[in-house]
């Protein structure tokens, strides 16, 4: 079981060096202790006046000893490709200016018959096919997006489109570019603490709908996409999620936001002085507002610290990981974090040039391409991190397959 500090039960992974220090997590009313030597989980949940082991305590022990692993992935992108040269026709920029500063050359944008829900369903189906899991066996869908196509969330619509006959729970998680990572940790907690077996985690965003296409400082960055993974319950010895580290700082809102704004059109009613400011004006969200320099400073400072913290909690050294997979925001950020962690470029996954910043979709999209190309293989260890608006950021140490 995990708590908010990111302490998981330690799995048996012969290829990784573990620290023989206990980690303590809290599970409901009990405390779970995981020791690197024995790789076993012990829970203590005492009830005054009770003798022996209660049914509830037995269930707690069974659930806490359960692990989770990534067994399938998929992705989908819109048909419309927008190159840097295309952008130069509508805003004062050029291919060299964009590629040197960001590493981006193309991005995909939703148009025509494309929809974010449709892309999400396609990505989810591919993940289920790879995992060889029937939609009816899915018991939770987590839709990680900050741009849903319905105010009340998109998760249930994806569950319906997949044809999950058992009406499994589906809901949205909003955390911008950190959304997929938070969804991944949430899925693990549902499996470890709730007995769920197959959890779909989808990261999808259509930030093109909230971009000011006259602002060359921001419009060059963003694209649309969807990516998905299937997280599946397993024995603790096969556990594939070793540790994590999560943070947020609301003070950073001023550096990156898309705040709500009121319609400035005067209402025909409510102007006779009967009730001030009622009825309220219709509202919409502003375009993305970003202080690029501050966001860059935040990322290169906080992301390496978070990854180092997750590695320490997992008992894994940075030299032991096979791949570094960061949110695909800017190639200079990716390079700076890799340099700080002393990870060679050949072990860094990046597809930013082809898709730009796809927000919550960027990590699962890059992972899917790396898996299907044969770059990431079963048993490989990945250090991954997301960061963005909120501000939110976090990292996880995981194993593929």
Q: Is 224 domain-assigned?
A: yes
pLDDT tens string 284-312: 898 999 898 999 999 999 999 999 999 99
Pull the structure tokens for residue 371: 């898996």
Check whether 61 has a pLDDT greater than 60.
no
Q: Is 282 domain-assigned?
A: no
CB 246 within 8 A of CB 385: no
Confidence of residue 281 (pLDDT cuts 50, 70, 90): confident
**If we measure between CA atoms, which residue out of 194, 219, 177, 212 comes closest to residue 365?**
177
- Beta strands 348-349 and 323-326, pairing class: parallel
**If we measure between CA atoms, which residue out of 154, 151, 166 comes closest to residue 119?**
154
Q: Is 12 domain-assigned?
A: no
C-alpha distances out from residue 246 to 27, 186, 243, 298, 305, Å: 18, 11, 10, 15, 11
Pull the structure tokens for residue 333: 């950020």
Q: Is 58 domain-assigned?
A: no
Q: Provide mean pLDDT across the span 134-150.
A: 97
**Residue with the larger pLDDT of the pair 357 and 261:** 357
pLDDT tens string 328-377: 999 999 999 999 999 999 999 999 999 999 999 999 999 999 999 999 99
DSSP state of 270: S
Confidence of residue 146 (pLDDT cuts 50, 70, 90): very high
Grouping H, G, I as helix, E, B as strand and the rest as coil, residue 91 is coil
Check whether 42 has a pLDDT greater than 80.
no
Confidence of residue 28 (pLDDT cuts 50, 70, 90): very low
Residues 6 or more apart whose CB falls under 8 angstroms from that of 113 comprise: none
DSSP state of 272: S
Integer Rg of the chain from CA: 22
Residues in the chain: 401
- Active-site hit among 177, 189, 219, 302: 177
Pull the structure tokens for residue 233: 């319950």
Q: Is 191 domain-assigned?
A: yes
pLDDT tens string 211-220: 999 999 899 9
- Active-site hit among 84, 198, 257, 357: 357
Q: Does the annotation mark 255 as catalytic?
A: no
Grouping H, G, I as helix, E, B as strand and the rest as coil, residue 327 is coil
Predicted TM-score of the model (pTM): 0.83
pLDDT at 264 (0 to 100): 62
- Active-site hit among 327, 330, 351, 354: 327
Q: Is 307 domain-assigned?
A: yes
φ, ψ for residue 191 (rounded to 5)? -70, -50
**Is the previous residue joined to 25 through a cis bond, with omega within 30 degrees of 0?**
no
Alpha-carbon distance of 307 to 309, in angstroms, equals: 5
DSSP H helices in 70-205: 84-87, 95-102, 116-131, 155-162, 179-194
Q: Does the annotation mark 357 as catalytic?
A: yes
Domains: count for the chain: 1
Q: How would you class 25 by CB atoms within 10 Å of its CB: exposed for 0-12, middle for 13-18, buried for 19 or more? A: buried
Alpha-carbon distance of 4 to 280, in angstroms, equals: 38
Alpha-carbon distance of 240 to 379, in angstroms, equals: 9
Alpha-carbon distance of 110 to 278, in angstroms, equals: 36
Residues 6 or more apart whose CB falls under 8 angstroms from that of 169 comprise: 139, 140, 141
Q: Provide mean pLDDT across the span 383-398.
A: 96
CATH of the domain at 105: 3.40.47.10
Alpha-carbon distance of 202 to 383, in angstroms, equals: 19
- Beta strands 283-285 and 348-349, pairing class: unpaired
**If we measure between CA atoms, which residue out of 311, 308, 315, 306 comes closest to residue 248?**
306
Q: Is 202 domain-assigned?
A: yes
Residues 6 or more apart whose CB falls under 8 angstroms from that of 276 comprise: none
Angle between helix 155-162 and 116-131 (nearest 10):
50
CB 154 within 8 A of CB 148: yes
Q: Give the domain extent around 201.
A: 67-250+290-400
Q: Is 49 domain-assigned?
A: no
């Amino acid at each position: 079981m995990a708590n908010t500090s990111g302490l998981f039960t330690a799995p048996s992974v012969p290829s990784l060096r573990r620290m023989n220090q206990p980690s303590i997590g809290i599970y409901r009313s009990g405390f779970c202790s995981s020791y690197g030597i024995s790789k076993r989980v012990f829970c203590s949940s005492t009830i005054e006046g009770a003798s022996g082991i209660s049914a509830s305590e037995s269930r707690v022990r069974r659930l806490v000893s359960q692990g989770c692993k990534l067994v399938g992935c998929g992705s989908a992108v819109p048909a419309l490709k927008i190159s840097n040269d295309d952008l130069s026709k509508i805003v004062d920029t050029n291919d060299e200016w964009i590629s040197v500063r960001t590493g981006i050359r193309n991005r995909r944008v939703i148009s025509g018959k494309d929809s974010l829900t449709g892309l999400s369903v396609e990505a989810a189906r591919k993940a289920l096919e790879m995992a060889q899991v029937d939609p009816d066996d899915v018991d939770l869908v987590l839709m990680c997006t900050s741009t849903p196509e319905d105010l009340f969330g998109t998760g249930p619509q994806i569950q319906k489109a997949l044809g999950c006959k058992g009406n499994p729970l589906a809901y949205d998680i909003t955390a911008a570019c950190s959304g997929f990572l938070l969804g991944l940790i949430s899925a693990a907690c549902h499996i470890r603490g709730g007995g769920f077996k197959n959890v779909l985690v989808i990261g999808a965003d259509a930030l093109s709908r909230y971009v000011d296409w006259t602002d060359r400082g921001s419009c060059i960055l963003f694209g649309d996409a969807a990516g998905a993974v299937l997280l599946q319950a397993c024995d603790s010895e096969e556990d594939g999620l070793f540790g994590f580290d999560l943070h947020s700082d609301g003070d950073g809102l001023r550096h990156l936001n898309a705040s709500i704004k009121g319609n400035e059109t005067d209402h025909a009613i409510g102007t006779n002085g009967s009730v001030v400011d009622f009825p309220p004006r219709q509202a919409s969200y502003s375009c993305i507002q970003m202080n690029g320099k501050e966001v860059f400073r935040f990322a290169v400072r906080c992301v390496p610290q978070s990854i180092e913290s997750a590695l320490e909690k997992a008992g894994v050294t940075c030299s032991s990981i096979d791949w570094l997979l960061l949110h695909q925001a800017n190639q200079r950020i990716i390079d700076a974090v890799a340099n700080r962690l002393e990870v060679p470029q050949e072990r860094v996954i990046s597809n930013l040039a082809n898709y730009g910043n796809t927000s919550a979709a960027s990590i699962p999209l890059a992972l899917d391409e790396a898996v299907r190309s044969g770059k990431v293989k079963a048993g490989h260890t990945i250090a991954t991190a997301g960061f963005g608006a909120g501000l939110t950021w976090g990292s996880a140490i995981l194993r593929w397959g």
